[in-house]
Amino acid sequence: MKKILLLLVLLSPAIVLAQEKSDEPVDVETNEQTEPKKKAIDRHKESVDTQIQRASGWVDKFFADPNYEAETATSLIRIRPEFYYRKEQGAKGKLKVGLKFALPNLGRKTSLVIGSDDTIDSWGDNSDDSEGEPIIGLQFFGKSTRRWNTSLSAGVKFNEFAGFIGPRVRYLAPMGKNKSFRFTQAVRYQTNGYWNTISRLDLNFILGGRFFFRQTFDGRWRGERSDDEGFRTRVSSIFTQRLQSTAGLQYDFSTIFHTRPDTHVDRYVLSVRYRKRTSRDWLYYEIVPLISFDHDYDYKFNPGIRLRVEVFYGAKSTAGFSKHRAEDTEDFRW
């Protein structure tokens, strides 16, 4: 009995050490034990890696980039009346309504999407000819990390009635403290025999405390329009200035190419986009003066303006769709 007690005394430090080690948090992906508190150098590395991602996220959220919204399983209703005037095209108005509902019974990993399909049809805000094709469908989200986001969409489109299904993958990675790149690839098959593909590369740069620059290369193929447009490519240089937490400016120069009926520049567009959130965090408005030179009008000087109001229900604001842990204040800092 004495020998057993003596053995337990001798082994007790090892038992305690093993117990302490087993209580350390474990990384479920690598199955490796991690320290409860990161060393100063690790915290600094994480800050460097996430700073550019937070800046990019603020720009995408505040200016309501369709690509950002395509990565969130939130509930949101958007109502967007718009007015355009272009010297060559005249005046026209539009009303877009989009609904997105997270389905809690499916682990908040699935969203019901109804309304305008800006992720496939829209060129963003450097063009006023987006149809915002109406759809109804489901979006199933896969595993999401800071770098990866994956989803699968399936549903029905109504302009040219057809079912569709296809995946979307996004990869984002920092390149030092002030630079990052993001690549997005989406593919859809439609039951009418057409394919749609979208390939987009964003190069992001922080230029000081309030300035952000993005170079975008966006290539698209739409089977329904392949005979008239072929492969469409947009190259955009976008400079963002954060005026305050509720207002921002974007200076955008875009060139849009088509490959059908021959390879040519379809449009040059230069715009200045002022976006303001009102005292109501669900109400935004935009004023966008722009100049374009269009192939359809022999590249004549074509000035215009776009006025837009956006009303959101369900999320507090576009800046609050999906706050990352690093965003520790309502007023974003980068």
**Domain of residue 297, residue span:** 44-94+169-320
Per-position b or e across 80-109, b if 16+ CB within 10 A of its CB: bebebebeebeeeeeebebbbbbbeeeeeb
Domains: count for the chain? 1
CATH number for the domain spanning 299: value is 2.40.160
Residue type, 268: Y
Q: Is residue 112 part of a domain?
A: no
Asked which of 26-30, 163-167, 197-201, 304-308 is least confident by mean pLDDT, the reply is: 26-30
pLDDT higher than 60, residue 73: yes
What gap in Å lies between CA 10 and CA 6, rounded to an integer?
6
Q: Is residue 30 part of a domain?
A: no
Span 229-259, pLDDT tens digits: 889 999 999 999 999 889 999 999 999 999 9
Q: Is residue 125 part of a domain?
A: no
Span 20-63, pLDDT tens digits: 443 444 443 344 444 555 555 444 444 445 678 888 888 888 89
Span 129-182, pLDDT tens digits: 555 678 999 999 998 888 899 999 999 998 888 999 999 999 999 888 899 999
Strands of the chain, DSSP E: 26-27, 32-33, 76-86, 90-102, 110-116, 134-144, 148-157, 162-174, 179-190, 195-206, 211-222, 231-244, 247-258, 264-277, 283-294, 301-313
pLDDT higher than 70, residue 3: no
Q: Which of 300, 303, 295, 308 is nearest to 86 (CA)?
A: 303
**What separation in angstroms does the CA of 98 have from each of 139, 183, 247?**
14, 25, 23
pLDDT given for residue 130 in this prediction? 53
Q: Is residue 267 part of a domain?
A: yes
Asked which of 8-22, 86-100, 308-322 is least confident by mean pLDDT, the reply is: 8-22
